Amino acid sequence: MPGMVDTHTHQLNELRLDGTTLEGLRASTHLELPLRTGLTTFRDLGSAYGDEAALEQLRAALAEHDTPIPTVVIAGPLITQSGSEALRLWPEQAIGVTGESEAAAATLDLINSGVDQIKVFIDEDLRGTATSSLGEVEIAAIVAAAHDHGMWVTAHVSTESEAWLALQNGVDGLAHWPGHGAISDEMIEALVAAGTPVATSFKVSPPAKGDLRRLLDAGVRVVLGTDAPGAGSAVATWRELDLMVQAGATPMEAIIASTRDAAYAVGLGDEIGTIEVGKRADLLLVGADPAQDVTVLSDLIAVIKDGVLVG
C-alpha cells in the first residue's frame, strides 16, 4: 500500500537551530522512527522556523540526514491575532497580526522565508481561556496573499462558527474537527462544495457520535491528522486510524484518509498517496490486509521511501 501521510504534526518543535542540534538531527532517530513505522510524509503545522536563514539550515540538515527520513512539508509559525493566548503559550511558534496590512505582510514574510504552506489560528477560546482570534479581515488578507503565490492555507479551528469563518474566506483546509457537537448539514454541504479536507485529530477534537460517518457518506475529504509532537506521531498514526474505524469509518476509508486524501491535503497529491506510474515509490509492505483490520499496520514487513528499502 502507499506510505502514510500525517497532515498535522509538530515534529519540528523540539529542535533548536544551533550547530549542536543540527548535528544531532543528522545522527538521531527523531525522524527515523515515524518512517520505519509507515509515516513516509508529514506536514509540520506550527514550528519556530519562519526565518529564512533558519529554514535554510533546517532544510539542509534534513537533506543531509544520514538515513532516510519522511518527506517534510513545513508551514512555519502559525499566524494568529495580536493578543491571542497562542502568543503566550507558543511565543516562538506564532506571529500576531492586526488588520489587513499586517496580516498580508506576515504571510508574505513567511512565503519569502521558504515555507511550503501557511497555517492560521482561529480560536476564540484556547484551553478554556477566552482570547483574541483572527477575524474576517485578517483571514481574507492572509488567504489572498497566499493564493497569489500559489500557496495553500490551513486553519486551526475548534468550533463550527470558526470553521465557517475559515470557509467563507477561502481557507483550503481545516486542521481539526469543526466542533465537539453534531455538525450541521449546512456545514457538511459547504465542506463538500469547497472540497475542503478536514483532519481528524481525535485526541484534540473527536467528532460527535455518528458525525464521521455523516461526513464520509456526504463525500467530505476526511484526512489523517494526529497533532502529535516529536516521534510521537509514529504511534499516534496507528491509534488515529483505529479510532476512525471505531467512530464509523471502514478500514479502507481510514487507509484512504491516511494516503490518497492526506497527500492531497498537504499539496502532494500528484507525487504520493497512491501507487501509480510516475509517482514516488513511497510504499509499505504489510503482512495482512489492512482493508480488513487497520491494526495490522502496527507490524509492517518493510517500508520503502523513494524506492529505497528502509526496514
Q: How far is Cα of residue 256 from the mean position of the Cα atoms in its chain?
A: 15
Residue 132's pLDDT band (cuts 50, 70, 90):
confident
**Nearest of 154, 92, 89, 80 to residue 123 by alpha carbon:** 80
As beta bridge partners, residue 39 has 4
Q: Which H/E stretch holds residue 260? A: helix 260-265
**Nearest of 221, 225, 237, 232 to residue 300 by alpha carbon:** 237
What is the spatial distance between Cα 237 and Cα 302, in angstroms, rounded to a whole number?
17
pLDDT digits (tens, 9 = 90+) for 172-203: 999 999 987 899 999 999 999 999 999 988 87
pLDDT digits (tens, 9 = 90+) for 191-248: 999 999 999 888 778 899 999 999 999 999 999 998 887 555 656 777 889 999 999 9
What is the spatial distance between Cα 78 and Cα 95, in angstroms, rounded to a whole number?
6
Helical ranges in 114-210 per DSSP H? 136-148, 160-168, 185-194
- Are 122 and 155 in contact, with CB atoms under 8 Å apart? yes
Q: Is 171 helix (H, G, I), strand (E, B) or coil?
A: coil
Block residue for cell numbers 518527506: 71
